[in-house]
Amino acid sequence: MDDASYSAMVKPNPEMVNRRTALGWAAGLILGAISATLAVIVGGAVVSPRLGRRRDTWLDAAALDAVTTARPLEVALRVEREDGYRVTTERRVVYLVSDGYDVRALSAVCTHLGCRVAWHDAEKQFKCPCHGGCFSQAGAVVAGPPPRPLDALPARIDAGRIWVQV
């Protein structure tokens, strides 16, 4: 066999795809399909709660004339939540606070560890029994470990009634 015929046999045609290249493309396609599937699954799990229907529930909390500037009004609201096929009712306490011009609704849950705060007339403060957190009548942190003020809930006045969104 001469050198010319041997080199023609050994040199592959550059236009032909060899097995190694085809296998590389197949592996790349399979990895791409797996990556795309995982991206859809993980992305759907992260995004779907935000895209789901959220029901904004406005509850009748109290009459407007029941709230004074002297002290916050404690109101227990009954909130119904769907838990799968069951509807559960939970009790949620809020405080209605008036500054003379506007009425705000404050959550009764301490922002430190989630304990329930209570209003103390003597000190004119909300106090948390768990770790000594204190909040002003407006909900601002006065003392203790809470990292932020009491959570304010959306409130509106309609026909002499205060409605709170939960």
- What pLDDT was estimated at residue 152? 92
Complete edge-to-edge strand list for the sheet that includes strand 103-107: 73-83, 86-98, 103-107, 152-153
Query: Does residue 24 sit in the same domain as residue 97?
Result: no
Which pLDDT band holds residue 39 (cuts at 50, 70, 90)? confident
Q: What is the pLDDT of residues 121-159, one digit of tens each?
A: 888 999 998 888 999 988 899 998 989 999 999 998 888
Query: Does residue 96 sit in the same domain as residue 122?
Result: yes
What is the domain extent for residue 151? 58-165
- What pLDDT was estimated at residue 96? 92
Query: Does residue 78 sit in the same domain as residue 96?
Result: yes
Query: Does residue 47 sit in the same domain as residue 121?
Result: no
